[in-house]
Structure 1
Amino acid sequence: MNREELAEFLRSRRARVTPREVGLPESGRRRTPGLRRQEVAQLAGMSIDYYIRLEQGRGPHPSRQVLNALSRALMLSADERAYLFHLAGQALEPERLRGDVPRSILHLIAFLEEVPAYVLDAKYDILAWNPMAAALMGGLDSRPRDDLNVIRWVFRSPDLAEHLSDEEKGRFARAAVADLRWAAGRYPGDAGIQALVAEMLALSPEFAALWAEHEVKVRREQRKQIAHPAVGVIEAICQVLPVPDREDLRLVLYTTEPGSPSHQALRRLREVTLSS
């Protein structure tokens, strides 16, 4: 059980919920935004002393019943609820990433000859990719294995702006950090995730600011506008799919609207890839 992280998460989520959202009267001036501790305790059906101890990082090990009550009181999303359970030590999933890619998934991305596809683990390391992904993202084949982390690219790469606009980068950065926080809660014993978070906190004020917001959300689908030097702008739908029986892995696909200029651009990119 991670008492310190649990306490911080509860405080951040309490500050986000307004009395009106949970059906409480908004009477009197409030010194801080969100619900009062007493209101959360009331909504969750527990004593105020018990809840205060949880927020101060000195509470007992909460039961699943207590965690479910807090999830309802704080209006947590499904991803946030799962994260809360992991922080409280109630999760039964493995605590470490495996790092291998099933052979069937390797065959699948190789078969997708017109669709950029790659496999990402929960730490945002790219573990495998097809030629179209290498052509779209640039330099995957020439990078050393320890330099294939998307989080590091987002917050440390000086040339990322050449491919994504500031708005695109900001939207992706926020989604990636919320997803990484979910992974940190799901795999609390993974030294790689812990080291990555510590590195980014030390090197990137932007990452540190987003991490401090305690947003938790698994990344699933996002639209991206990619400026490719060979074929121009590509409007793509980035689909992030869980690998069956391996929730530490995601299959990432870049698709486009059939017949659209972006679809034609991807086809030209494949021709360039085949001719090179």
Structure 2
Amino acid sequence: MTGNLLGEFLRARRAALGPQDVGVASHGVRRVTGLRREEVADLAGMNADYYARLEQGRERHPSPQVLDALGRALRLAPDTHAHLHRLAGAPPADRSATDRISPALRQLLDGFSDTPAFVINAALDVLAANPRAEALHSPFAAVDNLARMVFLDPAGRDFYTDWTCTARATAAHLRQTCGITPDDPRLRSLLRTLTAGSPDFARLWATHDALSKTLDTKHLHHPTVGSLAVTYQSFDVRAAPGQQLIVYQPVAGTPTGDALSRLAVRTAGPAAEGVVRGGQHPLPTADFP
């Protein structure tokens, strides 16, 4: 292995394609396996000398636009296309990010019949929730955005037993998201709302702490069934970048499982107002610039 991983990748992918694969006419004896450099450059709409420098390692920082053009020219699948961007140190723009829940994810979500599960986006908007999650979060006026629920809904301070820890983690998650997608209008709108409405959020935001959702334990208090102890895990939804599936499980040795079952029975009925089904955006469109 050399230090020119980008060049190695381009040469290998070029060698894997023949003229017939990309609709290029072939004339005479070909001295190379696969496509010629000039053919790839032409397919990508770039100068052949520039493409040669990429393969040779004399140019190591192509723009995302150049990488996208090469991805199309080399017929790269989405995962391989993203790998090309990583090799060049230029993460691809998240064009496929969506707030719409796929039918397969909806089915998976509903399959967690005995435990709360819900789907969020990078801005912590709740895109969908199963009945157990709806019942768990029923003290809130709306189950629309986890950060709004923590900082702006009065129910949050009673619901999250260690509200200070939850608030710190929530602000840190949004700070990390801001570093990934700083120009996202939805995120900017949410940050304006939280900063204007919550001095606690404004103070935590100023610390610049950054944290992602992974695995943790939460201590909650529901007015109907009392104290609850749950662990949660988050899973990236690869088919929809930016979405995460969050699953709560009762802490072993606690009565939380029975309490969640009783809660589900007591709150059975129509979905709580404000919870999104089918991936429609949960917050009023007037909140967006």
The interval holding the TM-score normalised by the smaller chain is: 0.5 to 0.7
Q: What's 2:145 paired with?
A: 149
**CA gap 1:224/1:163 in 2 versus in 1, 3 angstroms:** same
- What is the alpha-carbon distance in structure 1 between the residues aligned to residue 207 and residue 172 of structure 2? 9
Q: Which runs of 5+ in 1 are unaligned?
A: 1-62, 65-88
> Cα distance 1:268–1:259, how it changes in 2: closer, same or farther (>3 A)?
farther
Please name the residue that 2:192 is paired with.
198
Q: Which consecutive unaligned segments of at least 5 residues does structure 2 have?
A: 1-59, 62-88, 271-289
Q: What is the distance in 2 between the residues matched to 1:106 and 1:169?
A: 30
The aligned counterpart of 1:36 is none
| CA deviation after TM superposition for structure 1 residue 251, in Å | 0.8
Amino acid at match of 2:101: V
Query: Within 1, Cα distance between the matches of 2:202 and 2:251?
Result: 36
Tell me which residue corresponds to 2:111.
111
Residues 120-129 or 214-223, more deviating: 214-223
Q: Residue 216 of structure 1 aligns with which residue?
A: 210
Q: Do the aligned residues in 2 keep the contact of 1:219 with 1:240 (CA within 8 Å)?
A: yes
Is the 8 Å Cα contact of residues 119 and 128 (structure 1) preserved in structure 2?
yes
**Per-residue deviation, 1:139:** 6.0
- The 1-side partners of 2:255 and 2:263 are apart by 12
* Aligned position for 1:19: none
Q: Count how many residue pairs are aligned between Structure 1 and Structure 2.
A: 186
Q: After superposition, give the CA deviation of every residue in 1:160-182 in whole Å (9 maximum; x if it has no partner).
A: 222222xx211111111111112
Between the aligned partners of 2:96 and 2:200, the Cα distance in structure 1 is 27
Partner amino acid, structure 2, of 1:272: R
**1:200–1:208 Cα contact (<8 Å) kept:** yes
- Indicate which of 157, 161, 167 corresponds to 2:157: 161
8 Å CA contact retained: 2:139, 2:155: no
Q: Provide the secondary structure at the position in 2 that maps to 1:246.
A: coil
TM-score, scaled relative to structure 1: 0.60
- Any idea what the Cα deviations from partners look like across 1:4-58, whole Å, max 9, x if unmatched? xxxxxxxxxxxxxxxxxxxxxxxxxxxxxxxxxxxxxxxxxxxxxxxxxxxxxxx
SS of aligned partner of 2:128: strand
Tell me which amino acid in the other structure corresponds to 1:199. Answer: T
Whichever of the two has the greater Rg, that structure is: 2
Normalising to structure 2: TM-score of the pair? 0.58
Give the 5 Å matches for 1:262-273: 262-273=256-267
Secondary structure at the aligned position of 2:227 is classed as: strand
Deviations 1:62-119 (A, max 9, x none): x98xxxxxxxxxxxxxxxxxxxxxxxx9432317842111221110111111111111
**1:158 offset after TM fit, Å?**
1.5
- For residues 216-265 of structure 1, the C-alpha deviation after alignment (integer angstroms, 9 at most, x for no partner) is 22111221111122222111112222112333011111101356311221
Cα offset for 1:194? 0.9
Distance, in Å, in 1 between the alignment partners of 2:194 and 2:158 is: 22
Verify the 8 A CA contact 1:154 1:160 in the aligned structure 2. yes
Counterpart amino acid of residue 116 in structure 2:
P
Shift of 1:271: 3.0
- Correspondence 1:94 to 2:94: yes
User: Which of the two has greater helix per residue?
Assistant: 1
Within a 5 Å distance, the mapping from 1:168-247 to structure 2 comes to 168-247=162-241
